[in-house]
Amino acid sequence: MFMKVTVTAVALCGTLIGGSIAAQAETLRASLIGPIETAQGQGLQKFAELVKERSGGELEVEIYPDGQLGNLAESVEQVQSGIIDMTTAVPSILAEFVPELQVFGVPFLFRDYDHWTKVVDGEIGAEFSEMTTAKADTVILGYFGGSVRNLVTRKKVETLDDAAGLKVRLHPTEVLSAAWSSVGIQPTVLAYGEIYNGLQLGVVDGLENEPEWVKRMKFYEQAPYITLTQHEIVTRPFIFSAKTMDRLTDEQKQIILEAGAEAAAYEREIEHGLDQETLNELITELGAEAQEIDKDKFQATAAAALEPVLENAGLTATVEKIKAVE
């Protein structure tokens, strides 16, 4: 089953706008890893509504939820090749092509939601979008996200010492591996769809995730302990195929770019609003248990371990620039 809707998006410039062919009816495909009722699904639906309205029916979008078109990595690859037209990605996958995006995995990079929003909607977010277009054949239309990640485990973790030796599912980037290894955690690679069984079988002892997905994937059934590390504000680049963009008219490109930015802002407000609500539901209704941890100690330990990694990756200045945003 898929949902058909129409699409438009955000203003880019220069090379994207030049050299278009004549306008014609176009059906675009969007891959959504989760259900349509998620914040991401609602963001894609908003995008489709805006595009339909502004293109006068020249552009339509079919949204394929629940991973029908492939997992996250497969969806990103298909967007790059132009097989499908758009999806919501994660920086750790795009970092294979744009290493600078690893910076989003630096723990405690953002002071709060407002700081994060100013970064992704400002000059730095625009620079990352330009890099992604140049290096990964995708256009970042905007940034979904805004929820907060915590450590979710099979055993209770109340101190950093409790975390030592745990196998935690992570995306294999240098930044994430260095940060979590600094507190004794063993970074473990596992496909997202295999996490539940991995927890059940002891392949992994935990993961880092935001409340909405802990609930939707029922990870709390196998890993009921939520340590409130609050180490990362989730960033999901909403990416569009550069190959598809090249065949659109200038007017259609403008529609896509503008609608993408508006849909991203819409999605973020939903996701941010659901975050604490869902965490409370996990604790009060679904049997999860939350505990605080010394975040200052975690931050200091991870920062020391990350210093040479960030330097080698050329990200030190980027981190400083992000932290300087007011």
Render pLDDT for 53-68 as a digit per residue (tens, 0 to 9).
Answer: 999 999 999 999 999 9
pLDDT at residue number 9: 39
Render pLDDT for 157-200 as a digit per residue (tens, 0 to 9).
Answer: 999 999 999 999 998 788 989 999 999 999 999 988 899 999 99
pLDDT at residue number 25: 73
Q: Which residues contact 40 (CB under 8 A, 6 or more apart)?
A: 32, 33, 34, 88, 144, 236, 267, 271
The values of phi and psi at residue 124, to 5°, are -70, -45
Q: What is the mean pLDDT of residues 77-84?
A: 97
pLDDT at residue number 193: 87
Strand partners, 153: 206, 225
Q: How many helices (H) and strands (E) in the chain?
A: 13, 11
Render pLDDT for 107-154 as a digit per residue (tens, 0 to 9).
Answer: 999 999 999 999 999 999 999 999 999 999 999 999 999 999 999 999
Render pLDDT for 251-282 as a digit per residue (tens, 0 to 9).
Answer: 999 999 999 999 999 999 999 999 999 999 99
19 has pLDDT over 60: no
Q: Which residues contact 16 (CB under 8 A, 6 or more apart)?
A: 133, 139, 242, 245, 246, 253, 257
pLDDT at residue number 237: 98
Among 3.40.50.720, 3.40.50.1100, 3.40.190.10, 3.40.190.170, name the CATH number for the domain at 3-324: 3.40.190.170
Percent of the chain with pLDDT over 70: 93
